[in-house]
Structure 1
Amino acid sequence: MPPIFGHAVQRFALLLAASLSTGAALAQVTPDMGKLTATGGVSQLEGAGGGGLTPWALIGGYGSRDSWGANAYYTRVTTQDYSLDTYGVAVGLFDRVELSLATQDFRGSLAPLNDLRIKQDIFGVKVKLIGDAVYDQDSALPQVALGVMAKRNKGIGGLGALGVTKVTQLGAKDDNGVDYYVAATKILLDHSLLLNGTLRATKANQMGLLGFGGDKGDSYEARLEVSAAYMISRKLVAGVEYRMKPRNLGADNEKAYYDAFVAWFPSKHVSVTAAYAVLGDITVFNPVRQRGMYLSVQAGF
């Protein structure tokens, strides 16, 4: 982990321990749905609460600081040559801590990678450090959270005829890795605007689907991710996202991700997000900029 994240880790650990120490009383607390509609965000591709591509400092679920909330989601992204299914669950504790589990299932559809299949599991923890994106309207201070994503790549399927069964055979240094991030989110209610900036320390190739580190680099790099969203109404939000990526693999000239999205919140129990996403090139074996539709459904409380 790079030094830029070191000063926040101790506070992260203390806040996480303090929040989880109240877990014994969790069963006695009824979810109160106390947060404003849409202020938990949607489920991001790696399971954290935020936008579709990048985590925000918001804590998932609608539980207030005296309660808890949870959600489950399913997301499908389809491009010209690939598809990505991701699904999982997240729990928000006392509007302070978020725990998430996600599985990603990546498939190819065009030769020579039409039988390609890669799966990855992700466990995430996010802790709010300072600020409140909603209630601190008289302050310029955003809500700030520190997060960790532990990722386990489960290998490569469909390329056995080529003798490739692990991401390390494509040049990755490891098939497991950890991302660290700091997110800052500000909601400007008077302007119906949400702004977010996330700084992620990562060695992940294509979110970890192609492993971690590689022949071109094996050090943590800080990468910026930004989001802006406009609240058209209390139930409809539109926005854009941009996510920088590392370039560790000679076999993958990785490019930034970006999208334009619309999220609909018919109630606090359900949300639907649609987006047009651009995911850049994915491996030199199919050097075409991948773009297509993103659709996500989230249900919870």
Structure 2
Amino acid sequence: MPDRKTRLVTLMLTGLLAGPAFGASKILATSGAGSIEGAAGGGLVPWAVIGGYGSDGEWGAAASLGRVDVDDFRLGTASVLAGVHDRLEVSFAQQTLQVEPLDAVIEQHVYGVKTRVAGHLIYGRLPQLSFGLQHKVNQNPAIATDVLGANSASGTDTYIAASKLYLHALFERDLLLNGTLRYTDANQTGLLGFGNSGGEDPQLVGEASVGLFLNPNWAIGAEYRQKPDRLDAVDEDAWRDVFVAWFPNKRVSVVGAYADLGSIALWDDQQGWYLSVQITN
């Protein structure tokens, strides 16, 4: 029988494919792709873009499935989002982490909101600037709080992202640059809880993405995500990936990547692949 995550996304995909297009005024690929926390952007990093292809006065929506498969862990993500007037985005993601050496499963829910506050992705000199919140609730906190010494099973990240698409910028190809500053006390994005034995311990961390469009349908690039290292019992490293993205049309996007997640809990050198598929309306 399909699990709850699969049923949720199947229902959303059916609705998106069967329902009318709310709006499709934005240029191909400017809605971003599905991320591990549900917000529109890259696989690891939220961008300033608002999900969906709706522009001013229009709505947009998307549903995605993603999977990260490294040496000792499997992270599956199912997410949905809605974009309103290219100004506001709301999202929900359900993450399921399988810890293979312990035969354990950790589930987390991520509730997100993002608003565009200034600038535009393409037009004008100022990059698009967006402010976002992600409230995360760990559904299986025992490993984080009882074993590793995290302070809490829930927490809220705040971030500001700046994104700009430079047309014909590099070898006559479009170049996307994104930078994100995040204020967070999440351990491994919250999958290992929040804070430490001393209480809440948030830190300002940086994230970045770069993408080069080989043509309107294909892009290559890389991402980097700095993360706080707050647990006394284990080390935490920055995450990075190199990716290939395919946008055959405005309904579908596929992203594949090689990911290096460094140390996670008691296991070092976690490397492997990432894949996500998004359906957009």
- The correspondence of residues 237-252 of structure 1 with structure 2, limited to 5 A, is 237-252=219-234
Task: Give the match for residue 274 of structure 2.
Answer: 294
Task: Give the match for residue 174 of structure 1.
Answer: 152
Q: 1:121: how far off?
A: 0.2
Task: Give the match for residue 3 of structure 2.
Answer: none
Q: 1:196: how far off?
A: 0.5
Q: Does 1:134 align with 2:127?
A: no
Give the one of 167, 177, 191 matched to 1:209.
191
Is the contact between residue 130 and residue 162 of structure 2 (CA under 8 Å) also seen in structure 1?
A: yes
Task: Give the match for residue 180 of structure 2.
Answer: 198
Q: 1:101: how far off?
A: 0.3
Q: 1:216: how far off?
A: 6.6
Q: TM-score by structure 2 length?
A: 0.89
Quick one: distance in 1 between partners of 2:256 and 2:194? 29
Aligned to 1:266, what secondary structure does the other structure show? coil
Quick one: distance in 1 between partners of 2:195 and 2:260? 23
Cα-Cα RMSD: 1.3
Q: Which has the larger radius of gyration?
A: 1
Give the one of 141, 156, 162 matched to 1:184.
162
Quick one: distance in 1 between partners of 2:113 and 2:48? 12
1:152 maps to a residue whose letter is V
Is the contact between residue 105 and residue 118 of structure 1 (CA under 8 Å) also seen in structure 2?
A: yes
Quick one: distance in 2 between partners of 1:76 and 1:193? 26
Task: Give the match for residue 80 of structure 1.
Answer: 71
Unaligned runs of 5+ in 2: 1-19
Task: Give the match for residue 280 of structure 1.
Answer: 262
Task: Give the match for residue 138 of structure 2.
Answer: 153
Counting aligned pairs with the same residue, the percent is 46
Deviations along 1:204-236, one digit per CA (max 9) or x if unpaired, are 000000000013773221000011100111011
Quick one: distance in 1 between partners of 2:236 and 2:56? 40
- The correspondence of residues 1-301 of structure 1 with structure 2, limited to 5 A, is 31-110=22-101, 113=102, 115-136=103-124, 139=125, 141-156=126-141, 165-169=142-146, 170-191=148-169, 192-215=174-197, 218-284=200-266, 286=267, 288-301=268-281
Is the contact between residue 151 and residue 198 of structure 2 (CA under 8 Å) also seen in structure 1?
A: no
Q: 1:32: how far off?
A: 2.1
Q: 1:145: how far off?
A: 0.2
1:186 maps to a residue whose letter is K
Which is richer in strand?
A: 2
Q: 1:251: how far off?
A: 2.3
Is the contact between residue 236 and residue 263 of structure 2 (CA under 8 Å) also seen in structure 1?
A: yes
Q: 1:108: how far off?
A: 1.6
Quick one: distance in 2 between partners of 1:196 and 1:208? 23
